[in-house]
Amino acid sequence: MRGGDAAWVRYLLITIALGFLGVMLVAPLAAVFIEAFAKGAGAYWRNVTDPATLSALRLTLTAAAIAAPLNAVFGLAAAWAATRFDFKGRSLLITLIDLPFAVSPVIAGLIYVALLGSRTPLGGWLGGMGIEVIFATPGIVLATLFVTFPFVARELIPLMQEQGSDDEQAAVVLGADGWQTFRLVTLPRIRLALVYGLILANARAIGEFGAVSVVSGHIRGLTNTLPLHVEILYNEYNSVGAFAVASLLALFALATIGAKNALEWRLRRAREGGNGQ
């Protein structure tokens, strides 16, 4: 089998893979930056520092910053429940966690409008107390939470399943209380997977378009996130602005990949170190 690989097969496959990457990924990414700088660095900077862009950036980061810790808590709780306890509905829980992956983001937005819009009982009650959810920041945070919540749980469940609960049981036998067990035994072993899940959730939170679009209301300078702002600028025939803002998103994506690689490298090193001990 190994001897059968002719040199041309190898080169052909490498060419196809690299060619595909170039056409599908590198060229479009380069195009974003070329378009963004089409009218020079000055125009780029003006668009990036425009108040509406900055407000979109702030809202995007706010939504991601709220969604991330909540995801960590929920993901931990769900993974813990799914791998440490045996209860009725356990497999239902694991299935439901995947729901946001299966549902179209537009539906994710619409369900919150259907649940919390002013014509619904819950939405009407909140509105009566002067609390705006849909078409305001809370709605955007909710939609972001919905589309990102599987990430952490999905990273943790297989890992915790594989690790089993022997170490925790040992800790309990040795007299540790629940919190000590969690902090000193469980958490160190899942820390990297947790951060990995958070990085993925964060990338999705920053890039989410569909669900957020439905609940945003598109109020300039108030409820536009970065991806929504890109669309608006494009529709205003401001292509330099649209691509300048898109380049911010591209930079976030590159940073995500960088963080992910660094983490994978550490994971591998940690595992090798663990084997050596």
Please report which helix (H) or strand (E) contains residue 36, including its range: helix 27-36
Binding segment for another protein among 65-73, 156-164, 171-179, 253-261 (CB under 8 A)?
A: 65-73
Provide the terminal-to-terminal Cα distance of the chain, rounded to the nearest Å: 36
Closest Cα partner for 97 from 162, 158, 164, 163?
Answer: 158
Q: Which stretch binds another protein (CB under 8 A): 29-37, 42-50, 119-127, 158-166?
A: 119-127
Assess 119 for contact with another protein (CB under 8 A): yes
The Cα-based distances of 87 to 158, 172, 186 in angstroms read 18, 21, 21
Is residue 132 at the binding interface for another protein, with CB under 8 A as the rule? yes
Under rule CB under 8 A, residue 218 binds another protein = yes
Exactly one of 106, 236, 254, 264 binds another protein (CB under 8 A); which one? 236
121 is a site residue for another protein (CB under 8 A):
no
Question: What single letter denotes the amino acid at residue 211?
Answer: A
Least distance between another protein and beta carbon 264 (Å):
16
Nearer to another protein, 32 or 232 (CB): 232
Distances (CA, A) of 11 to 17, 18, 27, 52: 10, 10, 21, 49
User: Pick from 72, 103, 107, 232: which binds another protein (CB under 8 A)?
Assistant: 232
Check binding of 29 to another protein (CB under 8 A). Answer: no
Sequence-distant (≥ 6) Cβ neighbours of residue 121 within 8 angstroms:
none
Contact 206, 246 (CB under 8 A): no
Residue 84: enclosing H or E segment and its boundaries?
A: helix 51-84
Which residue lies nearer to another protein by CB, 90 or 266? 266
Residue with Cβ nearer another protein (137 or 256): 137
Residues that bind another protein (CB under 8 A): 55, 58-59, 61-62, 65-66, 69, 113, 116-119, 123, 127, 132, 134-135, 137, 217-223, 232, 235-237
